[in-house]
């Protein structure tokens, strides 16, 4: 039985062409700064997104940690959304390792943070309060594309209040492909999105399909500070060019194909439409959320077990979630939809 793994786009495996690029990578010691493949990747992603410098790190979690701790000092605070990865899903790293306090805000239905709520969360310059230093946003957020005009307004507000800005762009290129549309220039859109922020984190091991790695982009001064954080966090690697070569290959060959993942997500959502006891959220990119309703409300674990028995993997930590990626095809999403339909009809 072929496995249909819809748990996350992080489960992708390197393509044959990516493996060949990894084997051909020139290597050095990145701690000494002389791994050619790492240096080339850092220049590639910084240039693509319009920044002075970039830093290759093992994970997106570490990239966000490096960003927050490079922007903030002990006793500082960053404003962030309740559902953002760098607040909810990263073990409280900024608070644990940097004594930087998060100020989480509720999201609006479109994934944004209300501008009035951001402004109200910024503390006055008073010894009673943590010093608000940073606004962190995420795009995409749970597969939702954050509107371009909102990014401009939110970051302009932050700058007017003296805050730096960081974007968790783990799926930045998914957002860019969705905004660009068919025939559009997704790379130019990604650069426009990134241009609103002081720092941007990009993940290579999700939809782009590399086995590991993220990059933090910013000014040379900030990236120098982030490099020190990376060292303290244990993220400085030696012959990291094997991974960097995979990331470079992904940037060159896997950006535009993200549209295929988005199309598969729409196909899955259409296949689930009209099933009694299931509400499906129309996907904007490659993530489909669904909720069980009525008598089926408490059967998520049972459903996931039934799917697994048929070779279909998904997650249901807080909602049913299905993520499409380069290792999933039309037959796979059709199998998943049919299996869910059978379960809820039984």
HEC per residue, 269-293: HHHHCCCCCEEEECCCCCEEEEEEC
pLDDT in tens, 268-305: 999 999 999 999 999 999 999 999 999 999 999 999 99
The pLDDT of 149-158, averaged and rounded, is 98
Paired strand residues for 170: none
How far apart are the C-alpha atoms of 2 and 308, rounded to whole Å? 12
The gap between the terminal CA atoms of the chain, to the nearest Å, is 23
Q: For the chain, what are the domain ranges?
A: 15-253, 257-345
Instruction: Tokens 């068919």: give the residue.
Output: 182
Residue 65: pLDDT band with limits 50, 70, 90: very high
How far apart are the C-alpha atoms of 204 and 212, rounded to whole Å? 7
- Per-residue pLDDT for 1 more than 80? no
- Classify 257-345 by CATH class: alpha beta
Residue 346: pLDDT band with limits 50, 70, 90: confident
- Strand 164-169 vs strand 131-138: parallel, antiparallel, or unpaired? parallel
Q: What is the pLDDT of residue 240?
A: 98
The pLDDT of 29-33, averaged and rounded, is 97
How far apart are the C-alpha atoms of 244 and 249, rounded to whole Å? 9
- Per-residue pLDDT for 318 more than 90? no
DSSP symbol at 294: G
Q: Which fold has domain 15-253?
A: 3.40.640
- Per-residue pLDDT for 43 more than 90? yes
- Per-residue pLDDT for 12 more than 90? yes
Angle, alpha carbons 174-175-180 (nearest 5°): 100
Q: What is the pLDDT of residue 317?
A: 81
Mean pLDDT of the chain: 97
């Amino acid at each position: 039985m072929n496995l249909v793994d819809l748990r996350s786009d992080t489960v992708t495996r390197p393509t044959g062409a990516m493996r060949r690029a990894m084997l051909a990578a020139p290597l050095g010691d990145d701690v000494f700064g002389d791994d050619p493949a790492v240096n080339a990747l850092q220049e590639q992603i910084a240039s693509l997104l319009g920044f002075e410098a970039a830093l290759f790190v093992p994970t997106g979690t570490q990239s966000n940690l490096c960003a927050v701790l490079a922007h903030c000092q002990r006793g500082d605070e960053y404003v962030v959304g309740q559902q953002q990865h760098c607040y909810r899903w990263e073990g409280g790293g900024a608070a644990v390792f940097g004594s930087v306090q998060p100020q989480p805000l509720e999201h609006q239905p479109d994934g944004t943070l209300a501008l009035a709520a951001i402004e109200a969360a910024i503390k006055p310059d008073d010894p009673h309060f943590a010093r608000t230093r940073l606004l962190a946003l995420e795009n995409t957020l749970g597969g939702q594309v954050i509107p371009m005009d909102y990014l401009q307004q939110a970051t302009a507000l932050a700058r007017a209040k003296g805050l730096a800005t960081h974007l968790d762009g783990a799926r930045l290129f998914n957002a860019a492909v969705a905004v660009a549309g068919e025939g559009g220039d997704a790379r130019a859109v990604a650069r426009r999105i990134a241009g609103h922020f002081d720092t941007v984190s990009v993940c290579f091991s999700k939809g782009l399909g590399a086995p590991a790695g993220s990059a933090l982009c910013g000014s040379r001064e900030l990236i120098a500070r982030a490099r020190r954080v990376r060292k303290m966090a244990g993220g400085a690697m030696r012959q990291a060019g094997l991974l960097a070569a995979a990331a470079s290959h992904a940037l060159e060959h896997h950006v535009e194909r993200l549209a295929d993942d988005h199309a598969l997500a729409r196909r899955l959502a259409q296949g689930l439409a009209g099933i009694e006891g299931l509400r499906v959220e129309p996907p904007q990119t490659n993530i489909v959320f669904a909720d069980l309703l009525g008598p089926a409300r408490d059967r998520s674990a049972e459903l996931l077990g039934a799917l697994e028995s048929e070779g279909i993997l998904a997650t249901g930590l807080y909602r049913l979630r299905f993520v499409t990626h380069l290792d999933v095809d039309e037959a796979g999403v059709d199998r998943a939809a049919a299996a869910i339909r059978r379960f809820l009809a039984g």
